[in-house]
């Protein structure tokens, strides 16, 4: 009887750990994109890297996407392309 109880406890702990791991993996996938990696790629050729990474990171967190390449291609991420500076004249996202 004691062996069955121990086996049951081990099984419950294993299931809880499995569910925790699956929940963490699904939240990563649901987040959409790794903003740090995507923005590092997007800002790789700029002379003002820190400013580019800061603005790209904010846009990525808001839109959950970053256009491919180092410039242009904003049609792949309409939200990213539509964010403007305060004056509304220039695009905020690199």
Is 0.75 topped by the overall pTM? Answer: no
How far is 46 from 73, CA to CA, in rounded Å? 16
Per-residue pLDDT tens digits of the chain, which is 94 residues long: 777 787 777 766 666 666 666 555 443 444 578 999 999 999 999 999 999 999 999 999 999 999 999 999 999 999 999 999 999 999 999 9
Residue 28 CB partners (closer than 8 Å, separation 6+): none
């Amino acid at each position: 009887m004691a062996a069955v109880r121990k086996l049951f406890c081990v099984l419950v702990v294993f299931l809880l750990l499995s569910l925790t791991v699956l929940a963490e993996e699904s939240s990563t996938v649901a987040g959409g994109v790794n903003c740090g990696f995507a923005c590092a790629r997007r800002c790789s050729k700029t002379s003002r890297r820190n400013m580019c990474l800061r603005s790209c990171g904010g846009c990525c967190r808001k839109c959950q996407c970053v256009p491919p390449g180092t410039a242009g291609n904003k049609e792949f991420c309409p939200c990213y392309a539509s964010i403007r500076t305060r004056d509304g004249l220039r695009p905020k996202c690199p």
